[in-house]
Structure 1
Amino acid sequence: MYYEIHGDASHSEAVLLSSGLGGSHQYWQAQVPELAKRFKVVIYDQYGTGKSAGVLPHGYKIADMAAEIETVMAQSRTERAHIIGHALGGLIGLQLALQSPEKVASLLLINAWDKTDEHTKRCFDIRKSILKQAGLEVYLKAQPLFLYPSEWMKSNRALLDRELDHLLSSGFSEDNLLARIAAIEAFDVSQSLQELACPVGLVASKDDLLVPYSCSLELDKKLTQSSLYVLEHGGHGCNVTEPEAFNHILETFYDALR
């Protein structure tokens, strides 16, 4: 598993960041410098993506992805960490907190959910059709439409072009993507939330095209130790499009845990 450590590795607390379907450690560029001021920061490429190359096995599940985080934690000598997860990364965080609660100090979940919503499945049906019928490059070109607001994309064309070039050279395969999407669609911990023992922060964007922000509202109602932060704008990838607002949420959430 490929990972990086940022900040002072001697910090008493660690934070581990897990990205969404793209699986890339580079997703968190706007957050790492801020978090490194107070934490040992661990970022990684999920298995079957980027520099963690490999063929995903049949029946691959979110529980397998949570086990990958445990591997990264062992390799990086991180006994316990605050977990920040975006979408799929949030599901992985939830699963890890349920199966290995001693490893999770807190969860901060960005546009995540406890059971995959039918609207999200509809979006994935469209994305799978694009992938199967038009191929990987067209799928990756279409991906920002589900992640970012149109005005932000209009103003950040060069960044999106660089991101596309990076993704095309990152070893993505159609089979791995389909296996990861299948794992997302099958995810359901809605009956286990009462077992969560750590504080949870929930970040939701009202204009998220892929995941209705009501999913975070519903999660908040089900949890006993949760804090909800709602952004009016930012889309699915709000930590990328609204970094200042998002980083303020980070500071607020972690200050409250002290």
Structure 2
Amino acid sequence: MNKAKSGIAYQIYGDEGTPVVLIMGLGMLGSVWGCQIPVLSKKHRVLIFDHLGIGESDPLPRGGKSMAEMAIDVGRLLEEVGWESAHVIGISMGGMIAQHVTLMYPHRVRSLSLLATSAGGVLSPAPTTHSFMFWLKTLGCKSNEQRAQLVKELLFPKSYLKTLSKEQHEHLSQIYQRKIPKNVVSAHVKAVIAHNTKPSLHLLQLPVLILRPDCDYLVAPSENDVLHRLIKGSRLVSFPNAGHGILRQCTDEVNKELLAHLVAVDAKQI
């Protein structure tokens, strides 16, 4: 991966087409977009990156960063790679960062796609008891295997996990077994709690796609409905059986929606 002046490790895929920035969620490597990169990069230049404190990026500064400060890092990264504008796609905490990027740099965002995320605000997104207990358990895990199993149970409905083969489970475990530094988890949770774009989302005047996993244990599905109401002209697509791990559970459907959105925007159909 390349290293930005800010210390953020990043990688660009694809040689042509309009630029796309993929922003990952809490504690996850940028490479977790692995099911989207091959498809999107056929028609677009695609940038992924690791948040500070994760993967190959530099350590997170003491005290962490606010959502707005993380958005500034994304803006600087765009400048460094020489992209005047880009489609911005974010999931979970990455979707929150994406909202701030769009509000802070409206002239640099061609379109916005939000997956399994929230506008924030008082007690929103409040973690469910289910998700809170799982996060506590993952922090106390003594083995990578145990940690991966807990993360899978948090990201995917039990009905979906039962359909996977042994090989598919092992593949998911390799992706989600990485231990997240406690200071990074704490800083990200702090940023999520303080996140609130509700007063400003009505200002957005660009094409917005919202993908709603209806069986999300981590972010209440209704949070996506709130975003849809607040962002005038946004398009909401529901995935009835999907969990927070929608990128992998519904890969083909998600990729189809994202590609159609980007194509329509670039063709100025929306």
TM-score normalised by length of structure 1:
0.88
CA-to-partner distance for each residue in 1:123-149, whole Å, 9 max, x for gaps? 553244325555685555411211112
Structure 1 outlier segments of 4+, above 6 Å: none
Match of 1:107 among 104, 108, 112: 112
Question: Corresponding residue for 1:40?
Answer: 45
Structure 2: which 5+ residue stretches go unaligned? Answer: 1-7
Question: Corresponding residue for 1:49?
Answer: 54
State the alpha-carbon separation in 2 of the partners of residues 84 and 78 from structure 1: 15
Question: Corresponding residue for 1:126?
Answer: 133
CA-to-partner distance for each residue in 1:166-198, whole Å, 9 max, x for gaps? 555x57311111111121122111111122232
Q: Secondary structure, in 3 states, of the residue corresponding to 1:94?
A: helix
Question: Corresponding residue for 2:160?
Answer: 152
C-alpha change, 1:194 and 1:136, in structure 2 (3 Å) is: farther
State the alpha-carbon separation in 2 of the partners of residues 52 and 33 from structure 1: 23
Alignment of 1:1-258 (within 5 A): 1-8=8-15, 10-11=16-17, 13-58=18-63, 60-115=65-120, 117=124, 119-120=126-127, 122-123=129-130, 125-134=132-141, 137=144, 138-154=146-162, 155-165=164-174, 172-257=180-265, 258=267
Q: Is the 8 A contact 1:128 1:178 kept in 2?
A: no
C-alpha change, 1:171 and 1:235, in structure 2 (3 Å) is: closer
C-alpha change, 1:32 and 1:134, in structure 2 (3 Å) is: closer
State the alpha-carbon separation in 1 of the partners of residues 165 and 81 from structure 2: 34
Per-residue deviation, 1:102: 1.6
CA-to-partner distance for each residue in 1:12-44, whole Å, 9 max, x for gaps? x11010111133121111111221122111111
Per-residue deviation, 1:74: 2.4
State the alpha-carbon separation in 1 of the partners of residues 38 and 174 from structure 2: 24
Bigger drift between 187-196 and 49-58 goes to 49-58
Q: Is the 8 A contact 2:21 2:46 kept in 1?
A: yes
Bigger drift between 212-221 and 48-57 goes to 48-57
C-alpha change, 1:62 and 1:34, in structure 2 (3 Å) is: same
TM-score normalised by length of structure 2:
0.85
Give the number of aligned pairs.
255
Q: Is the 8 A contact 1:62 1:183 kept in 2?
A: yes
CA-to-partner distance for each residue in 1:191-214, whole Å, 9 max, x for gaps? 111222322110001111111211
State the alpha-carbon separation in 2 of the partners of residues 126 and 38 from structure 1: 41
Per-residue deviation, 1:115: 1.0
Structure 1: which 5+ residue stretches go unaligned? Answer: none
The structure with the largest helix share of the pair is 1
- Give 1:225's aligned amino acid: G
- Give 2:98's aligned amino acid: G
State the alpha-carbon separation in 2 of the partners of residues 165 and 29 from structure 1: 13
C-alpha change, 1:74 and 1:127, in structure 2 (3 Å) is: farther
C-alpha change, 1:236 and 1:59, in structure 2 (3 Å) is: same
Q: Is the 8 A contact 1:49 1:171 kept in 2?
A: no
- Give 2:136's aligned amino acid: S
Bigger drift between 138-147 and 63-72 goes to 138-147
Q: Is the 8 A contact 2:125 2:223 kept in 1?
A: no
Q: Is the 8 A contact 2:125 2:193 kept in 1?
A: no
- Give 1:84's aligned amino acid: I
Q: Secondary structure, in 3 states, of the residue corresponding to 1:172?
A: coil
Q: Secondary structure, in 3 states, of the residue corresponding to 2:111?
A: strand
Q: Is the 8 A contact 2:87 2:262 kept in 1?
A: no
Q: Secondary structure, in 3 states, of the residue corresponding to 1:228?
A: strand
Q: Is the 8 A contact 1:56 1:179 kept in 2?
A: no
Q: Secondary structure, in 3 states, of the residue corresponding to 1:96?
A: helix
C-alpha change, 1:65 and 1:156, in structure 2 (3 Å) is: farther
C-alpha change, 1:157 and 1:186, in structure 2 (3 Å) is: farther
Name the Cα RMSD after superposition: 2.3
State the alpha-carbon separation in 2 of the partners of residues 44 and 118 from structure 1: 24
Q: Secondary structure, in 3 states, of the residue corresponding to 1:73?
A: helix
